[in-house]
Chains A and B, each alone.
Chain A
Amino acid sequence: MPDNHYDAIVVGSGISGGWAAKELTEKGLKVLLLERGRNIEHVKDYHNANKEAWDYPHRNEPTQEMIAKHPVLRRDYPLNEATMGMWADEQANPYVEEKRFDWFRGYHVGGRSLLWGRQSYRLSPMDFEANQREGIAIDWPIRYEDIAPWYDYVERFAGIAGTQEGLDVLPDGEFLPPIPLNCVEKDAAKRIKEAFGGQRHLIHSRVANITQPKPEQNRVDCQYRNKCWLGCPYGAYFSTQSATLPAAVATGNLTLRPFSIVSQVLYDKDRQRARGVEVIDAETHETHEYTADVVFLNASTFNTTWILMNSATDVWEGGLGSSSGELGHNVMDHHFRCGASGEVEGYLDKYYFGRRPAGFYIPRFRNVGDEERSYVRGFGYQGAASREGWDREIAELNIGADLKQALSQPGGWTIGMTGFGEMLPDHDNRISLDHSIRDKWGLPVLSINVELKQNEFDMRRDMVRDAVDLLEAAGVKNVKGDVGDYAPGMGIHEMGTARMGRDPKTSVLNSHNQVWDAPNVFVTDGACMTSSSCVNPSLTYMALTARAVDYAVEELKRGNLS
């Protein structure tokens, strides 16, 4: 066997790639894990993990130099001193915005698993049935029952803190004890339940932060520093580095190759199988070929799709998977920044100790059961209550010792939340290759053409109105509806450009995430999503990946992939 052959190749080391590597190596396969960016070693390379605001020259605010270098990142909160170096180099990696699209990319080992929001919810039976019931796009080729045991499996390993709630719209799972609500949130939950006759619920957010140690994974439980984004030295939140990568390494079956940009899947048209991938070394610009029996594409939704579009173009002009006419289409994100906030009277004898990496969640309640709004699907809210700090307004005190004294005490309680809304798959929302613009390695770049449609705009009105209603029902004063700046991509939940389906004419992947036109190529990142639900998607990528690997290994044994 030549040096450059492996049983399996995994492209991308983020949330789903890490899972693919873990599952494949644990099943005994020799795996090459390719990552386009640099390596980041667990704990050792978390340089800012113990820093505070005063340890940064500009107290963690962006400088004009940072702003100039990050024309996309500067549009939102990710641009700060603490996470510099954790986002893609925008000069080396340009893309075209036919319409504004905020694409926030993590090009390093671990990808955005180091930077994610960790909110972890299951899609519901309703989510898997919605496209078919409403005649939108195409039907998912699987149902909740197909993925439920895999949710169990990944939740047990990743460690999800949460509570059993018995809600149809948000299936329960295998949870560690929750990260507590504070007293204001607990009372708000009671009032909301009463006011809406048990039809709306404020619950603990479900997050991939462990609340009990996992010594078998060398992970310590959450220390309530709320510094997840800096890399957790305790390994308390799920990331490739804290969880899946060490498991894969422990098997002795893993080879990790950073600085490896996959430029195409090598396609054997006689066998109708991939034989491997072509890699450009990001540092030397040299080209290498690696071969394998099975290839998992987990390069993040758009980059996985980019690889497919740039592969087998001698057979299909639009690339591998384009025979469906759907490759690159049906881009989805979660639209948000519609919510409300207000002031809470009282509780001035209560405060909190510790900094939570979590808050509360209000699961979807619109278009559930028989309700029919002017739009389809729904939204959930994420929020928190807290006491104001020194950055609050004190109208009567402006200057001097009294001001300092007042600001050194906590202010009153406030509570706020923002909705995360489902975005419908639409054929017109698409990405494509632009060969007229090249990246640092001479590769064509992606051109993005995505916009919100009427269903999302109609939903956003409810997202504000209902947030106001919920907070008012909870007894909150001075409630203000809030509409912030949102452009597609800002949710950092890109999905749908190589969707799963039942028919090769309308989908890129089958029910086991195999590319119809190359059954030994699997896509299990966000590209595979047939609809978006309104819940944060990463947990679903984990479950679909574990499920697909299990199937892939069985198929390998049966000789169906060679």
Chain B
Amino acid sequence: MNRRELLKMIALTTGTAMIGGKSLFAFSDAGQSDHPFSSQDVELLDELAETILPRTDTPGAKDAGVGEFMALFVSDCYTPSEREVFYFGLAQLEARSRAAYGRDFIALSGEQRLELITELDREAMAHAQQQARREQPTPAEALTAETQTAQNQTAETQSSQEHADSEEALPHYFTMMKQLTLFGFFTSEVGATEVLRYEAVPGRYDGCAPYNGEPAWAT
């Protein structure tokens, strides 16, 4: 690892770069740490996350407090337009649940939850793949583009480009929910130490250690 590897964007299983953190456009009314989500919202997020990463013989999303984490992350790290998508998604989740089963998500059976979430996941993946096709220039295209633009690039054009990019590339709401579930779970202490493996002070490096099916390193 060198420091440049820190750059590797989190693709997660969603086919989309990590939303939030690396999204680039700033706004002014940020910074509240008391998130505006209600306790019902957090409970709904917890149940949603638990459907994606359930407790088995190891802890699941609820054990790791993923719902609370999602609420905080969306409030503090998402842009206003990303938050809009997320809020819309929460409402959509309930609307889709009622339309399909005549009940709130929280009242669905485990099977129904899995069915609905699987459906949303499929839609979100299709959305992400469509975006990826549109957005990915080949290396040759990127090299040509940088010779044309870099020489005249000012901080202002950079800033407006960032803005345009972040507005255009808004993901499906379920992509956000799934990303935050995975991110929130595997970077939690529970996820990292009880589901993955964690060694605070390795003390040595072995680059050719035998592997026999143990959990992956958390970090």
Contact = CB atoms under 8 A, between A and B. Distances in A.
B170 to A, nearest CB: 16
A68 B28 contact: yes
B153 A52 contact: no
B53 to A, nearest CB: 5
Interface string A479-498: 01111101100000000000
Given A185-B207, A382-B4, A393-B11, A452 B56 contact: no
A558 interface: no
B1 A384 contact: yes
B87 interface: no
B29 to A, nearest CB: 9
B189 A52 contact: yes
A125 interface: no
Interface string A44-76: 000000101110011111111101100100111
A475 interface: no
5 contacts: A52-B189, A355-B217, A358-B2, A391-B10, A405-B56
Interface string B13-43: 1010010111011111011010000000000
Interface residues of B, number: 91
B143 A392 contact: no
Contacts of B79: 64
B2 A404 contact: no
Contacts of A409: 213, 215-216
Contacts of A52: 189, 192, 198, 200, 219
Contacts of A405: 56
Contacts, number: 259
Contacts of A29: none
Given A205-B2, A336-B4, A352-B208, A223 B30 contact: no
A84 interface: no
Interface in A67-104: 67-68, 71, 74-77, 97-100
Nearest to B186: A390
**Count class of interface residues, chain A:** 35 or more
Contacts of A392: 11, 13
Which one of A63, A384, A416 has the highest number of Cβ atoms from chain B below 10 Å of its Cβ? Answer: A63
A399 B204 contact: no
Given A65-B30, A483-B146, 8 more contacts: A52-B200, A59-B69, A64-B27, A64-B77, A223-B202, A353-B204, A392-B13, A394-B13
A99 B154 contact: yes
A350 interface: yes
Given A68-B28, A400-B52, A405-B56, A487 B204 contact: no
Contacts of A205: 2
Given A223-B201, A355-B1, A61 B73 contact: yes
A292 interface: no
A374 interface: no
A68 B30 contact: yes
Q: Which of A224, A353, A457, A487 has the most CB of B within 10 A?
A: A353
Given A54-B192, A392-B11, A224 B205 contact: yes
A128 B30 CA distance: 50
A181 B217 CA distance: 18
B171 interface: no
A223 B205 CA distance: 8
Contacts of A180: 205-207
Given A58-B72, A58-B77, A226-B1, A404 B207 contact: no
Given A68-B26, A403-B52, A58 B203 contact: no
